[in-house]
Structure 1
Amino acid sequence: TGSGSTLNVDGNRQSAADRAIERLNGMDAQKLRQEATEEVSGNN
């Protein structure tokens, strides 16, 4: 999923795990989880 992948067209592709961690940096997962719970239960 990283540098050995055929999707690595420019030679700089990070692994899937590294890309996922970058997407999550700075996110408040607990807050997002709570907001999603409230939305699903109709408590928003």
Structure 2
Amino acid sequence: MSEKLIRTTCNSHCGGACPMVLHVEDGVITRIESEGEIKSCLRG
């Protein structure tokens, strides 16, 4: 079981397009974190 990191942006249609990193194991998202200095809002 190796963890995969997928970089994406939030799709909550607030216009921010916050950068995020998804941690995926066996096709299941195990963790979501903000990437960089921009913190994701609670809508995402």
Same-fold call, TM cutoff 0.5 = no
More contact order relative to length (CA 8 Å, sep ≥ 6):
2
Q: Which has the higher helix share?
A: 1
Structure with higher Rg: it is 1
TM-score (norm 1): 0.18
Question: TM-score by structure 2 length?
Answer: 0.18
